[in-house]
Amino acid sequence: MALTVHSVLHRRKEEFAPLHDDFVGMYVCGPTVYDLPHLGHAKTYIAFDAIVRYLRHRGYRVLYVQNITDVGHLTDEVANEGEDKVEARARQRHVHPMQIAETYTREYFRAMDALGVQRPDISPRASGHVPEIIALTQRLIEKGHAYEVNGSVYFDVGSFPEYGKLSHREVAAEPEVESRVETEEKRHPADFALWKRADPGHIMQWPSPWGIGYPGWHVECSAMANKYIGPTLDIHGGGVENIFPHNEDEIAQSEAANDAPYVRHWLLTGSLRIGGQKMSKSLGNFVTIDQALENHSPEALRFYLLQAHYASPVDFQWDAERRRSPSIEEAQRGLDRLYGASQAARRWLESASAAAEGEPTPEGRALDAERQAGDDQFHEAMDDDFNTPRAVAALFTLAAALNRFTGQAASASGADRPRVEAARDTLQQLARVLGLLEQGEAEPAAAVQLDAALERVIAWRQAARQRRDFGLSDQIRDDLRAVGILLEDHPGGKTTWRRLH
């Protein structure tokens, strides 16, 4: 089956067709680093991590570039006006903007590492590519697509007839654009800044042929993508909220400069919503990744977000008082089922004869057929526009087959060993394509010892609670959480535990 992706540009599914048969150049808009990463970031970058993993699983060589925006992203994104977000935060904190950018770049990668998001091959920073940005801007001026006014340079949207083709909007006819911009310097209200002159108090500034200034947000991505991948990208990813004006402006300036298609396949993630609104730093309605991981495992959060298609919006449930999410709790139970099936297969293999002799049992043959069906189901799902919800369903199909076999097999026949090993390996390998089941399993003897030790600790904690020594009770709970064990208290006084995978 051919790999197909949904074309945002053409509004239909298309066969995935990179420029080169076995190579994929992929660029994803990275974070603007002025605050802690939140769950909206997690949704986007987990989705693209799964896409990159699957492309590599399929045999493609992928060059994955994801930028860091540390300058030029202004508070009014549509009008491309206002104060630089990083610089505004620096003024609040009375520190240099680069200190803000450095701090939150580290925080971003720390959070992504916790969620099992593999690092991009290249993570270029906008501030480190000012020469490339200036060169691109000069090329656009020379080709008649940009003009300079009072030290700022603007892209002339009238010079690019296809402007608006990605977002499917007639920008020139939309009065809200004109009402949100300052038109004194521009030929058209929709013209956008490639280079902005720096006011005297602006800290982030560089010399240019047009005077002291700093780059516009949109041109940064075009310059960095062109440097590391080339004039045409196989995949450009990002959040759907950036389709206009950011992605639209990228297309205009890149295609005008290079006379080549900018992107073959646009993949845009749906928003994560909370309380009916898009979760975002600018709206202040966000839950940080750190907050979500206080009481949930990183893998459960990842599993929860992969159960939605990358392009679909997700309505996130968050209990602020408990600092827990019912959605992630449900995902944890599903994840435990996958781990449980893998562990059941391991236990069966430990009890089975090492020699794979004789004819397989009917149950073994059925397991092998279900393994193949689950494998096919997984690849068909991911080949259909990276449909992770259906791929997750395939994992549950494999887990159910393993549980059915290990639960009904009359004896651990060595003849079935190859089939059980194959089914368990398939479950683990496909799960790892999605970044799941990567935590491993405790050795049997160690697991038994841990069970017994934790039961003693739970009994000790319950005795403390009965004495109303809640300080000790909370300390035990917090100490266990710090080493990856979560205690859960239930009605009636029962306490259970599970690993924070």
Closest CA to 501 of 319, 293, 317, 286: 293
175 pLDDT above the threshold of 50: no
For residue 112, what is the DSSP state?
H
CB hemisphere CA count around 197 (13 angstroms): 12
Q: Which two tokens stand for residue 257?
A: 């400069």
When comparing pLDDT for 197 and 279, which is higher? 197
End-to-end CA distance of the chain: 34
Q: What is the average per-residue pLDDT within 411-419?
A: 80
Quote the Cα angle for 350-355-359, to 5°. 110
What is the distance between the alpha carbons of residues 85 and 345, in angstroms, rounded to a whole number?
A: 52
pLDDT at 356: 62
How far apart CA 301 and CA 331 sit, in angstroms, is: 7
* Residue tagged 């521009």 (tokens): 186
Q: What is the pLDDT of residue 449?
A: 62
CA dist 438 to 194, 302, 485, Å?
44, 12, 17
Judge whether residue 342 has pLDDT over 90.
Answer: yes
Q: Flag whether pLDDT at 181 surpasses 50.
A: no
User: Which residues are CB-contacts of 385 (< 8 A; sequence separation ≥ 6)?
Assistant: 4, 5, 6, 13, 309, 311
In the 8-state DSSP scheme, what is residue 244? I
pLDDT at 493 over 80: no
120 within 8 A of 178, measured Cβ to Cβ? no
Q: Which residues contact 258 (CB under 8 A, 6 or more apart)?
A: 226, 231, 232
Of 399, 408, 395, give the one whose Cα is nearest residue 364.
408
Average pLDDT, integer, range 357-366:
86
| Under 8 Å between Cβ of 147 and 263 | no
Q: Which residues contact 34 (CB under 8 A, 6 or more apart)?
A: 85, 86, 88, 89, 100, 101, 104, 281
What's the pLDDT score for residue 455? 81
Q: Is the Cα torsion angle 292, 296, 300, 304 positive or negative in sign?
A: negative
SS3 readout for 293-318: CCCCCHHHHHHHHHCCCCCCCEECCC
Instruction: Provide Rg for the chain, Cα atoms.
Output: 27
Contact 34, 86 (CB under 8 A): yes
Q: Quote the pLDDT of residue 276.
A: 82
Nearest CA to 195 out of 234, 174, 222 is that of 222
| DSSP 3-state of 233 | strand
What is the rounded average pLDDT of the residues 225-241?
A: 98
pLDDT at 179: 36
* C-beta separation of 346 from 437 below 8 A: no
- Under the banding of pLDDT at 50, 70 and 90, the label for residue 30 is very high
Higher pLDDT, 163 or 286: 163
* Average pLDDT of span 465-494: 83
pLDDT (average), residues 204-225: 97
Query: What does the pLDDT read at residue 183?
Result: 63
Mean pLDDT for the chain overall: 90
Q: Is the pLDDT of residue 174 over 70?
A: no
pLDDT of residue 490: 72
Vertex 13: Cα angle to 426 and 379 (nearest 5): 5
User: Which pLDDT score is estimated for 443?
Assistant: 46
- pLDDT tens sequence across 446-457: 555 666 788 889
3-state secondary structure of 27: strand
Label residue 409 by pLDDT band (50, 70, 90). Answer: low
Question: What one-character DSSP code corresponds to residue 125?
Answer: B
Q: Are 388 and 434 in contact (CB under 8 A)?
A: yes
Q: For residue 381, what are its two tokens?
A: 């799902």
Q: Which residue has the higher pLDDT, 451 or 95?
A: 95
* Angstrom distances, CA of residue 262 to CA of 221, 259, 326: 11, 9, 41
pTM of the predicted protein model: 0.86
For the chain, what percent of residues have pLDDT higher than 70?
A: 91
* 499 neighbors 484 (Cβ within 8 angstroms): yes
Confidence of residue 284 (pLDDT cuts 50, 70, 90): confident
Contact status, residue 63 vs residue 25, Cβ threshold 8 Å = yes
Amino acid making up residue 262: Y
